[in-house]
């Protein structure tokens, strides 16, 4: 399966940005613009239970980051700064000057970096189980880099691919099976090697980010959502001693203008496991 053959539940547009990348994205609804940024190894369908409802109130721009989904696959640095500028360039092409941002996992780290680089552009932030709290030693970075190397990603068998999806959930919903099927299918794509390299670089980009050291600089009104049973953040490979509550505490003590919503019996994929609660909480926060 080629990446372009992936089935998306929304109409997709493609926009070439100033730096040359072609970005696949939704553009649904009216009202205040909200940009949705997926996590590591993910894509626009991560929001398949959210955008229809949220687009009743907002202009919903969910993008595939370069290297992911239906966006272009040229190699790039994979840094949080790079991804932040992609978002800024995309919104500029769409005629959007100010917007709110909603980021999941690595997408949350990108949102935080956006708020540091371009605070004047961001109205509000919604962070779903975001990266950006943990500081990594060089030894820890090396361990994660080995685990998430391009070679390992290329060599994952079907069972490993399925497990990598399942670990995102506390209770795996049957209608999330497409995430496993898609990840198995895209291994046949001519672009899969580039995608694997970009995923590996993105993992390094998260760990090398200065976001954890600069959280106290953020003044953007922020909503943090976290599942109590998250098995992805904190990073269990190198920080097994940390809990989701520890990460929440770091954010609580660092970001001044922060609201926190914890969801019991919920894993890393809050917006897919509890879509109604997520949609309602997010709408309420953004509309205030």
At 151-192, the pLDDT tens digits run 999 999 999 999 999 999 999 999 999 999 999 999 999 999
3-state secondary structure of 103: strand
Mean pLDDT of 21-25: 99
* C-alpha dihedral sign at 241, 243, 246, 250: positive
Mean pLDDT of 222-229: 99
Q: How confident is the model at residue 196 (pLDDT cuts 50, 70, 90)?
A: very high
With a CB cutoff of 8 Å and minimum separation 6, the contacts of 223 are 124, 125, 126, 127, 258, 259, 260, 261, 281, 282, 285
Q: Please report the pLDDT score of residue 64 as a whole number.
A: 99
Mean of the per-residue pLDDT values of the chain: 98
Q: Please report the pLDDT score of residue 272 as a whole number.
A: 99
CA distance 40 to 272: 16
Q: Please report the pLDDT score of residue 158 as a whole number.
A: 98
CA distance 123 to 111: 12
Per-residue pLDDT tens for 27-48?
999 999 999 999 999 999 999 9
> Which percentage of the chain shows pLDDT scores above 90?
100
Q: Please report the pLDDT score of residue 132 as a whole number.
A: 98
Mean pLDDT of 5-33: 99
pTM, full prediction: 0.99
Q: Is 3-287 a CATH 3.40.50.1820 domain?
A: yes
Q: Please report the pLDDT score of residue 276 as a whole number.
A: 99
H or E element at residue 126: strand 122-128
Q: Please report the pLDDT score of residue 6 as a whole number.
A: 99
Task: Say if CB 255 and CB 222 are below 8 A apart.
Answer: yes
3-state secondary structure of 29: coil
> Which percentage of the chain shows pLDDT scores above 70?
100
Task: Say if CB 108 and CB 129 are below 8 A apart.
Answer: yes
């Amino acid at each position: 399966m080629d990446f372009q053959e992936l089935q998306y539940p929304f109409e997709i547009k493609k926009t070439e940005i100033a730096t040359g990348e072609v970005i696949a994205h939704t553009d649904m609804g009216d009202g205040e613009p909200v940009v949705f940024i997926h996590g590591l190894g993910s894509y626009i369908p991560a929001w398949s239970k959210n955008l229809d409802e949220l687009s009743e109130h907002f202009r919903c721009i969910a993008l595939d980051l370069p290297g992911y989904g239906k966006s272009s696959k040229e190699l790039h640095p994979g840094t949080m700064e790079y991804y932040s500028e992609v978002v800024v360039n995309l919104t500029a092409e769409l005629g959007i000057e100010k917007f709110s941002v909603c980021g999941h996992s690595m997408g949350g780290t990108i949102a935080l970096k956006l708020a540091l680089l371009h605070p004047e552009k961001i109205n509000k932030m919604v962070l779903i189980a975001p990266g950006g709290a943990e500081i990594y030693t060089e030894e820890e970075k090396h361990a994660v880099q080995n685990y998430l190397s391009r070679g390992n990603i290329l060599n994952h068998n079907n069972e490993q691919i399925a497990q990598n999806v399942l670990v995102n959930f506390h209770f795996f919903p049957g209608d999330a099976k497409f995430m496993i099927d898609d990840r198995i299918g895209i291994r046949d794509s001519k672009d899969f090697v580039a995608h694997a390299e970009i995923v590996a670089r993105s993992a390094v980009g998260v760990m090398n980010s200065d976001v954890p050291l600069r959280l106290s600089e953020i003044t953007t009104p922020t909503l943090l959502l976290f599942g109590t049973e998250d098995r992805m953040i904190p990073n269990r490979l190198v920080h097994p001693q940390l809990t989701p509550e520890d990460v929440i505490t770091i954010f609580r003590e660092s970001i001044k203008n922060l609201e926190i919503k914890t969801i019991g019996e919920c894993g890393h994929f809050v917006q897919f496991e509890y879509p109604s609660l997520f949609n309602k909480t997010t709408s309420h926060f953004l509309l205030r």
